[in-house]
Each structure stands twice: as structure tokens, then as C-alpha cells.
Amino acid sequence: MTIEIKLFGFGDDRPPSFSNDNTIRLDVDTPTTPWLLLRAIGITDATGLVLMNADQVIPQRQWNDAILQDFDRLTLLSAFEGG
């Protein structure tokens, strides 16, 4: 299945798998969870990360449980308490 991930707020700190683009499309063989997917693209620290599926936030406590679907469009926000 194909899942799109789009980054916001990372600046130049985007994971290497994204090259210089803020969007990546992944072909995944089996149903997967958000955390497995994020680890696959090189993210190991979830601090300050917010994951949305379309407009729905997936809380971090569900990252090991939620099952992603074919053609899901994920957004990953790098958020911090700013001014």
C-alpha cells in the first residue's frame, strides 16, 4: 500500500530519507502502525512530534496501535512551545 507523509516545521532537520523535499511516498507491503512507519523513515525520537492523518490527530499513545490504511496521507509536525 502507499502512504504519503508530509513534514511541517522541520526546516533543514528533516530525516535523510526525505532528501530535500518535505513530502515522501512510501510503498509498504503490509498493514503497519505509525511508529513502525516513522522508524522506517529514520525517526527515533518522538519529542515534540505531532502526527495527523488527514485532519485527525493520532495521539502518541496510539502510535503502536493505530493501523494505517492504503492511501493514508499523514502529516508530521515538529512542534515546540514558541513565542
Residues that bind other proteins (CB under 8 A): 8-9, 11-13, 45, 47-48, 50, 52, 55-57, 59-60, 75, 77-83
User: Between residues 11 and 16, which has the closer beta carbon with respect to other proteins?
Assistant: 11
Q: How far is the CB of 29 from other proteins (least distance, A)?
A: 28
DSSP character string of 37-62: HHHHTT----TTEEEEETTEEE-GGG
Q: How far is the CB of 8 from other proteins (least distance, A)?
A: 4
Cα–Cα distance, 78 to 11 (Å, whole number)? 9
